Chain A
Amino acid sequence: MSAVATPAPSPALPQRRAPGRARLRRVLRSTPVNVVLVVVAVLWLTPTVGLLVTSFRPGQDYLSSGWWQALVHPATLNLDNYRHILSGGNIVDALVTTVLITVPATLLVVLVASLAGYGLVFLRWPGRDWVFLVLVALMVVPLQMGLIPVSLLYKHLGLFGTIPGVVLYHTAFGLPFAIFLMRNFYTGIPRDLLEAARIDGASEWTMFRRIVLPLGMPALASLAIFQFLWVWNDLLVSLVFLASAPHQPLTVTIFSQLRQFGLNIDVISTASFISMIIPLIVFFAFQRYFVRGVLAGAVK
């Protein structure tokens, strides 16, 4: 896959063997940096650990002492909050709803964007460059611009308050960036590859499926992860379209709990952590694609 552009590895610097004193000096000089970064890393981890520990503590403990006290008395930690919340059905239902929104919205974006990327790179048609410019312009259009007209449109079509409505909205607002990403990636695929296939009589569909789609896999993976996280973590779109619907995703469910009962920490912290588990697994399992996807997608 050398045809697909990857950043050129920076030429390795010639490693000079450091004599003892120089090495000592370097160690001494890098010690403050190490100390500072260890402190930063601990600071960065603390808030998440705080939430995790809080979710394993009884609610009344939260009122009397800080979560760090529980690290000294680990016996006070238990799974009761999780047992309670998962037996309630409320959060389980929300988790299922989140999945039902996120998975189709991700698949749709990946499919539609890879098709359009192909259309923009390998098909020649009048207005193609113009369409691409419009796409670039649409990339930073705030999500808020669509909410009011689309909710009116959805009410008209009977899509308001339904999961498909939310899926379509996420797909549409995910597309400008997704197509941009796929187009840029496909531009790096040599055309000779397709020309050869075309001479052999392959149809556009065959070339898309057999050549372009497999070559585009790394970009598709980054895109899928980015879109997945984007939709999974969304609050606003679901809040608008599913506010009074029978099934709501995790973010909306936790939000209405927060609004109604304040910070009743045993429920809020536990539900929040449940909502974070899958994104965190995705993060640790696919860190490379994840980083690439987030980097690429931050322009949204």
Chain B
Amino acid sequence: MATVPAVAEPAARPAPVSITGRGPGGGGWRRGLAVGAFMGPALLFLGAIVGYPTVATIIASFFNKTTTTFVGLDNYRTVFGTSDILVAVRNNAIWVIVFPFLVTFTGLVFAVLTERIRWATAFKAVVFMPMAISLFATGVIWRIVYETDPHRGVINSMVGTVADAINPPGSYALPNIKPISGLSQRSDGSMVSTATVHPDGTVKLGLTGISPTDIPPGATSASEPATVQGGVAGVVWRDFSPGGHVGVVDSGEKGLPAMRIDLLRGDGSTAATTASGADGRFVFRDVGSGSYRVAVAASNFRAPFGGVAWLGAQSLTPADRLGGTARTLLTVPLVDIAAIVAMLWMWGGFAMVVIGAGLAALNREVLEAAKIDGASEWQTFRHVTFPLLLPVLIVVFVTMIINVLKIFDIILSLVPESSQREANVIAVQMWNSAFTASDYGVGSALATFLFVLVVPVIVVNVRRIRG
């Protein structure tokens, strides 16, 4: 194939004229013996383990579980009618649509860029290295990369750093914190005073579920709020102490400093914002007449970034509202994309090296001519390099399609049990049907389906060889 750089295509060659009158390889039984000796082992292997089983599998796909009764197309009906198996077909479709394009594109970009650096050999070694690693180990490696907990997974750690910088977590992001007196929690996470308050009024906002170690170090004892002329005063504090009373600022109870407090108008809009002091007290001065509520803002309780479940089954498309088969077919689980990225890591180097070899073999004179004619670098690439490179790109693309149809190991090792069903692929389903559920009929139908998908490639290859 075109991917074999070191091997010349056979040139048309006149049949050698034999002086001795015998054909090469001797005549009669001696020639037969030689052919048998050289070809026999290969033909035996191929006939017994590749050729005959291929035919047998196609036949078995029309028979029942134990390959004893003819069932017509029943197995194929099962394949395309069972939602679990249909998920596998859908996932293979996603792989085939996304992966070959992604790998070919990445390989092209890397190949073009490495032509401009001095350390291309080192770069290629680094990017090509994953080809030595098994798909199974690749799955294990990327499972560690994708860990959901930002403290453990490198991707979530990076995403978390950015997310927490944009949306800083609150200083009271405690799992058990809850209102206990004078306020109640809203669905948006903020806690709002239950009673309305007017100018000259005071509010007391008691929270609990804060362990002593979680109290900020600067906090001092809380005290009752003092009325402020024309303003609203209040206190936010840890309303818990042994023998204390709920709703009363008992001695020894600490204020909660640096809380963001909002003053809400009757329509819910924010009139003013302030922060609590070390003793938990806060004041809104000179508020206009009217009735207000006081809210402890949700940002105080905002949890830090908890990590994206990259290997989860959640869909990237809004297919949840659909039902039945449409839903199965139109769901794109996140885990598929995560697995595709892991595969890209593995095959990117392959695409880069193949395309790089294609680039190196291009006719330099044509490129120079384009440059002399005043073509910009992009124009040269777009109108000269790319069309010349297209055959190589197609080889990479088709190779990746064949690859992805048979994808197996990485699904088993990368995807956790919980989303295994949503990440199912044909090869995994074939293994499950045939060797876990012992249904040789459906297993054979799935294998035959895979085979049918590569038949076009077979036809193209054979045509090209026959030329």
Contact = CB atoms under 8 A, between A and B. Distances in A.
A and B bound?
yes
Given A37-B113, A298-B350, A138 B46 contact: yes
Interface string A26-63: 00001001101100110011111011001000000011
Q: In the complex, which of the residues A68, A144, A188 has the most CB atoms of chain B within 10 Å of its own CB atom?
A: A144
A257 to B, nearest CB: 10
Interface stretch (B30-38, B257-265, B271-279, B312-320): B30-38
A217 interface: no
Interface stretch (A2-10, A74-82, A89-97): A2-10
- Which secondary structure characterizes the binding site on chain B? helix
A291 B113 CA distance: 19
A134 B152 CA distance: 51
A1 to B, nearest CB: 12
Contacts of B3: 295-296, 298-299
Q: In the complex, which of the residues B41, B123, B132, B361 has the most CB atoms of chain A within 10 Å of its own CB atom?
A: B132
Contacts, number: 346
Contact of A176 (B10, B50, B117, B131): B50
Contacts of B357: 7, 295
A280 B368 CA distance: 40
A298 B51 CA distance: 21
Given A46-B154, A251-B136, A115 B465 contact: no
A163 interface: no
A140 interface: yes
B301 interface: no
Contacts of B440: 148
A193 B8 CA distance: 18
Q: In the complex, which of the residues A45, A50, A243 has the most CB atoms of chain B within 10 Å of its own CB atom?
A: A50
Given A44-B126, A275-B134, A235 B409 contact: yes
Contacts of A11: 364
Nearest to A50: B144
Nearest to A135: B46
Interface string B269-301: 000000000000000000000000000000000
B144 A54 contact: yes
A224 interface: no
A124 B15 CA distance: 10
A233 B408 CA distance: 12
Given A5-B7, A119-B35, A141 B144 contact: no
Q: In the complex, which of the residues A111, A169, A283 has the most CB atoms of chain B within 10 Å of its own CB atom?
A: A283
Contacts of B18: 195, 198
Given A47-B345, A258-B413, A10 B7 contact: no
A229 B131 CA distance: 9
Interface string A259-271: 0001101001100
A163 B404 CA distance: 28
B117 A37 contact: yes
Contacts of A131: 39, 43
B389 to A, nearest CB: 14
A141 to B, nearest CB: 6
- Which secondary structure characterizes the binding site on chain A? helix
Interface stretch (B73-81, B181-189, B231-239, B429-437): B429-437
Interface string A124-149: 11000001111111111111111111
Given A115-B38, A195-B16, A149 B52 contact: yes
B431 A240 contact: yes
A296 to B, nearest CB: 5
Given A37-B114, A64-B151, 20 more contacts: A7-B6, A41-B126, A44-B126, A50-B141, A54-B144, A66-B157, A68-B154, A68-B157, A134-B51, A141-B54, A147-B434, A172-B48, A173-B49, A184-B8, A184-B9, A191-B16, A251-B136, A296-B1, A298-B354, A299-B1
Interface of A: 5-7, 10-11, 13, 30, 33-34, 36-37, 40-41, 44-48, 50-51, 54, 62-68, 111-113, 115-116, 118-120, 122-125, 131-151, 153, 168-169, 171-173, 175-176, 179, 181, 184-185, 187-188, 191, 194-195, 198-199, 204-205, 208, 218-219, 222, 229, 232-236, 239-240, 243, 251, 254-255, 258, 262-263, 265, 268-269, 272-273, 275-276, 279-280, 282-284, 287, 290-292, 294-296, 298-299
8 contacts: A7-B6, A45-B126, A64-B151, A66-B153, A66-B157, A140-B461, A142-B454, A171-B45
User: Nearest 8 CB-CB pairs, A to B?
Assistant: A233-B134, A5-B8, A119-B38, A172-B49, A116-B42, A149-B53, A149-B56, A283-B132
